[in-house]
Amino acid sequence: MPLVSIIMPSWNVERFIEETIHSVQAQTFGDWELLIADDCSTDRTPAIIAEIGARDPRVKLIRMPRNGGPALARQASIDQAQGRYLAFLDSDDLWLPAKLERQLAFARDKRAALSYTAFRRIDEANTMSGRLIDVPAQLSYDQLLKNTSIATLTAVVDREISGPVAMTNEGYDDFCLWLSILKRGHIAYGLNEDLARYRVRGSSVSSRPMRSAKWVWNIYRNVEKLPLVKSAWCFGHWGARAWLKRREF
């Protein structure tokens, strides 16, 4: 199997970063590099990454020259990535051990430019909350405009199929990236298996619903350049799905 480059931004996550890295090290698929771009943390985050990297050379610390947000940090990791596959993981989330092995086999079988999986939410104490967030079998560009199914920690991109991968420096930069790939005519494929843990924190970048809604509207109008009526139609569907996804039952 080709190398997998794991793209991770970090900022002031000393409470969680070690556990997150350990969830990568515990993968049953071992041919990976973990590129962590630290966005000028003021706590021990860079030191923890460096200490682990000294013991495991697959873990690589990239120091950002200035605080610029997750999109620029992700791009810094992508710029140094050597792998055919790009897997995305935020610095407070977790993977289950078979995540890469199962998803890579699935992506190869589907010849997927972009694939994603189901996941469950956890809180800051690692307690699971709510239901399994399951995913549709596939998504086109037009379907993704109205959907919230591709969570960053579950996404894998095959660069040999997808074409160029570049972040857009906007809120929900990950959503912008998925759209840019699917806009080329690709289909994203979903593996409906529980393979990841998304950590819900009050201080996370995307934890405020109103701000998230503004970001999505901006993507429709100013990034994707959708007409007003189509933007409103997509936004209504996106909002309904986002509300259902946030419910805990």
* 46-100 per-position pLDDT tens digit: 999 999 999 999 999 999 999 999 999 999 999 999 999 999 999 999 999 999 9
Structure-model confidence comparison of residues 142 and 203, the more confident one: 142
Regarding beta strands 114-122 and 128-133, do their DSSP bridges make them parallel or antiparallel, or are they unpaired? antiparallel
Residue closest to 106 by CA, chosen among 95, 97, 117, 96: 117
How buried is 29 (Cβ within 10 angstroms: 0-12 exposed, 13-18 middle, 19+ buried)? middle
Distance CA 115, CA 157 (A): 7
Helix (H) or strand (E) holding 242: helix 228-246
How buried is 68 (Cβ within 10 angstroms: 0-12 exposed, 13-18 middle, 19+ buried)? middle
Structure-model confidence comparison of residues 43 and 211, the more confident one: 43
The count of other CB atoms within 10 Å of the CB of residue 217 is 17
Does the pLDDT value for residue 236 go beyond 60?
A: yes
Among all chains, which residue has been given the structure tokens 């890579």? 104
At residue 249, the pLDDT reads: 38
> What percent of the chain lies above the pLDDT cut of 70?
95
Contact 108, 4 (CB under 8 A): no
Among all chains, which residue has been given the structure tokens 């991770």? 8
DSSP character at residue 222 = I
Does the pLDDT value for residue 132 go beyond 80?
A: yes
Distance CA 236, CA 210 (A): 14
pLDDT band at 206 (very low <50, low <70, confident <90, very high): very low
At residue 205, the pLDDT reads: 45
